[in-house]
Structure 1
C-alpha cells in the first residue's frame, strides 16, 4: 500500500465538469492523458463550445483529441492519491488538471467497451441516494459515475431512473436504478479502474465491491 495519503473532495454530487483527452499511439495501443476542469471551474459553456480539437492536438503534439463533456458527477465524494502534485494545463481559456491516464480500446472507443484508467481514486456513493448501473453478460456491475450531455444536450438527472428504455443495450446487458442501503465504494486507489460508456456517453466504473 503506498504511503501517500488520499485527499478527499466531498459533496461533489451534481458538479459539472469537462475533460480534454490527449490521445497518442503507443506500442501497446492508444493511450490518453486526461485533463479535467474539476475542481478549478464548472466548465463554462461558452468556453467549452469554443474548444477546437484539431488545434489542441497540434499544440500538444497529440495524434487526436477527444472532448468529453459537459459531464456531472454522481458520487458523493472523491478521494484521490497525489492530488497536491497534479499538473495543470490550459485549453482554450479553460484551466484543467491532469487527472488520469487511459488505455483506450481504440482511437475512437465504442460504447460498452471497457477502457483501463489509472486514476488513483476512491469513489463513494452515499447510502440512500439512487444509483444507476449496468450489468454485463458476465454478471459484472458497472456503476454510473457521471452522466453526460455530450450526445444529448437536453439530458438531465431526472431522466436517469428510466434511461434504460433509451439505451441501445447489447445482448445480455441490462440497466437498473436502485437505492443502496449502505455506502457503495469503488476503490481504485491502488489498481487500474475499468470504465465504459453507454451510447449516450454516460460513464460507468466496474464495481470493485464484488
Structure 2
C-alpha cells in the first residue's frame, strides 16, 4: 500500500468508460491524478461521444474538474498501472463503479471498488451530509462541473444552496482527530449532491 503526499485541494479530472454489466451499468474510472492537473484547455475540448466510440464503450462520462478534500490517500496499487490518454490527458485506471443508472441522480448511492483509505487529518475542515438514518457522508471532492467558480471558501455555506432531500442535512466541522474512510476490503458507498460534489459513507 502506498500513501501519496498531501492532496488537499489538488485538481484532477476523470473519464468513466461505461459498459453493460450483468447487474446493470458499470464503469472503469480513469483519473488524471497524479499524472497531471487536468489542464483546462484540454479538458474543455473532450468529446464524450467520440471517447466512447474510440474505446468501444456504451457511453463515456466526463467527471470534473474536481478537487480532493482528504489529506492523503492510501492505495492498494496493482502491479501494473493501466494508463489511457483522452484528448491529450493521461489518466490511470483507478477504480470500477457499479452505477445506480446511466445518469445517477443526486443523493443516490453508487458502489465503487477502489481499494483505498481516504485520510482526513486533524485540524482540517470536513463537509458532511447526514442522511435520515443518521449516517454521515464526508465530502471527498468538490466539483466545478456545475458551478465553475466553486472553491474551498464556498463550501461552508453550501447548506443554503443544496437541494437536499427531506430528512437530510449538511454540516461542517473541524476535525480534532484523523478521520479515515477505509474501503480496502469492501466497496465504497459514494453519493453526490445537487452541485455534483462527491461524498463517501463513513463506515
**For the superposition of Structure 1 and Structure 2, which TM-score range results when normalised by the shorter chain?**
over 0.9
Question: Counterpart in 1 of 2:85?
Answer: 90
Give distance in 2, aligned partners of 1:85 and 1:192: 21
Question: Counterpart in 1 of 2:160?
Answer: 165
Of 155, 161, 183 in structure 2, the residue corresponding to residue 188 of structure 1 is 183
Q: Report the Cα offset of residue 65 of structure 1.
A: 0.8
| Structure 2: gaps of 5 or more residues | none
Give distance in 2, aligned partners of 1:146 and 1:20: 15
Q: Residue 201 of structure 1: SS of its match in structure 2?
A: coil
1:112 maps to 2:107: yes
| Structure 1: gaps of 5 or more residues | 1-5
Give distance in 1, aligned partners of 2:198 and 2:163: 15
Give distance in 2, aligned partners of 1:202 and 1:146: 6
Give distance in 1, aligned partners of 2:181 and 2:44: 31
Superposition TM-score, scaled by structure 2 size: 0.98
Give distance in 2, aligned partners of 1:142 and 1:49: 30
Residue-by-residue CA offset, 1:128-180 (whole Å, 9 max, x unaligned): 10100000111110000000001111111100011111000000000000011
Question: Counterpart in 1 of 2:7?
Answer: 12
Q: Hey, which bits of structure 1, 4+ residues long, moved more than 4 A?
A: none
Question: Counterpart in 1 of 2:57?
Answer: 62
Give distance in 2, aligned partners of 1:85 and 1:113: 32
1:148 maps to 2:143: yes
Question: Counterpart in 2 of 1:23?
Answer: 18
Q: Residue 10 of structure 1: SS of its match in structure 2?
A: coil
Q: Residue 9 of structure 2: SS of its match in structure 1?
A: coil
Q: Report the Cα offset of residue 10 of structure 1.
A: 2.1
Instruction: Please tell me the root mean square deviation across aligned C-alpha atoms, in Å.
Output: 0.8
Of 64, 70, 78 in structure 2, the residue corresponding to residue 75 of structure 1 is 70
- Matched residue pairs, number? 203
Q: Report the Cα offset of residue 64 of structure 1.
A: 0.8
- How do residues 124-139 of structure 1 correspond to structure 2 at under 5 angstroms? 124-139=119-134
Give distance in 2, aligned partners of 1:164 and 1:25: 36
Residue-by-residue CA offset, 1:78-101 (whole Å, 9 max, x unaligned): 000025522111001000000000
Question: Counterpart in 2 of 1:179?
Answer: 174
